[in-house]
Amino acid sequence: MAALGLSFFLPCVASAACYVEGASGRLGNYCALDKIKGARIDLRTAKLIDYKLKLEGNQSGLGFPSRVKPNSVSKAIYPILSYSDNINGGNSPEPLVLGNLTFIGKEELFRKEGVLAGVGLGLSGRYIHDEGRYLSYGVNASYAHSPKHGIGIATTSANVCSVNHVKNWWYVDVCANTSRVRKDIADSSNSNLSVKSSKVFESSDGVYSEASFGINRYFSESYTQNQFIFGYDTIHSNGVFSALNITLGESIKNELTTRFAVRGRVSRQLANKSLTLTAGYSKADGGKLFGVERNENTYSVSATYPIWRNFRATVGYRITDSTIDYFDVRTPSFGIQFAPIKF
């Protein structure tokens, strides 16, 4: 990589066109290295690419003497402001109708909606242990309170990934994560363990892609499920980033499980800021309630945009259409993501 014959005279758009929001470090690096072949770039751009390469475990980078610490840890604190349609983990206020049977729930167990405000703490790190290989990890804890109802939501999560460059821009990633959400009348947790292979390449002239496939083992409190996962991320020639992710899950008898899910995301620059549009669809089936089948289709859309220097806003809408009307959901969503304070 150091033998690219760089000339530091003219500025280069490689960093702006390749290191776009949403793209992985490996995809951004592949794009940048391809764009600077035979080009004249300024020293600042060259040093940025050198740093990005070393951050992904490439020890030589572009040949600059600077080094990236093999072990780095970052701590952060961040405010939370969001909306939830079910703060307490309660039930629908509508009657539950199953055939000729009608059930009326207790009012104190009805779900409560409203605005939440709180704070979160996070720790993340990276340990580069070999050429093109590193461990990334993170731990987060947060609490968001509802002034309207006097209750809150406590969330904890942890993740770790082993990232391994095999050869010729082929990667194998082994990742695990777990999370727990505690509400007033509900306490839920789930975990994932995945093995994924990916390849970074130039799919057409000036278009760079990362294709991935793998398996994921999903652990819930009542069942475990095998899932096949597929992804396709692309940096387009106009600087737009797109991502498509598909999940196929096995059927679990008498359990409502995700059988198919697709999520698409597009990010582009608007007024020199990154606008991200996301849409998703999932199909779940296999559930039963008193012998009545429960299947669900969920649709969601959202938009995220930095509205000021230190925070960005997200607005969206989600619809869940269930074969049992009691579980139907139609709700807006919004939140403010503040830039974390790192220390």
For 226-240, how does the pLDDT look when each residue is reduced to its tens digit (9 = 90+)? 999 999 999 999 989
User: What is the reported pLDDT for 8?
Assistant: 43
The pTM for the full model equals 0.90
Average of per-residue pLDDT across 287-304:
95
Residue 7 has pLDDT above 80, yes or no: no
8 Å CB contact between 73 and 125: yes
Q: What percent of the chain has pLDDT over 70?
A: 95
Distance (Å, whole) CA 19 – CA 31: 8
User: What is the reported pLDDT for 279?
Assistant: 98
Cα 121 to chain centroid distance, Å, stands at: 18
Give residue for tokens 């974390």.
340
User: What is the reported pLDDT for 328?
Assistant: 96
Residue 269 has pLDDT above 50, yes or no: yes
Q: Which DSSP string do the residues of 135-191 spell out, in sequence order?
A: EEEEEEEEEEEETTTTEEEEEEEEEEEEEEEEETTEEEEEEEEEEEEE-SS-EEEEE
Domains of the chain listed by start with CATH number: 1-68 (no CATH), 72-342 (2.40.160)
* Single-letter code of the amino acid located at 163: V
Residue 21 has pLDDT above 70, yes or no: yes
Question: Worst-scoring range by mean pLDDT, 9-23, 36-50, 240-254, 265-279?
Answer: 9-23
User: What is the reported pLDDT for 338?
Assistant: 86
User: Residue 12 — very low, low, confident or very high, per pLDDT cuts 50/70/90?
Assistant: low
Q: Which helix (H) or strand (E) holds 34?
A: helix 25-35
Average of per-residue pLDDT across 50-74:
92
Q: How many CB atoms lie within 10 A of CB 229?
A: 19
Residue 325 has pLDDT above 60, yes or no: yes
User: Residue 3 — very low, low, confident or very high, per pLDDT cuts 50/70/90?
Assistant: very low
Task: Give the C-alpha distances (Å, rounded to integers) separating 26 from 31, 76, 163, 208.
Answer: 9, 25, 11, 11
Average of per-residue pLDDT across 116-134:
96
User: Residue 15 — very low, low, confident or very high, per pLDDT cuts 50/70/90?
Assistant: low
User: Residue 5 — very low, low, confident or very high, per pLDDT cuts 50/70/90?
Assistant: very low
Task: Give the C-alpha distances (Å, rounded to integers) separating 68 from 7, 52, 53, 64.
Answer: 24, 9, 10, 11
In this predicted model, what pLDDT tens digit does every residue of 185-224 receive, in sequence order?
999 999 999 999 999 999 998 999 999 999 999 999 999 9
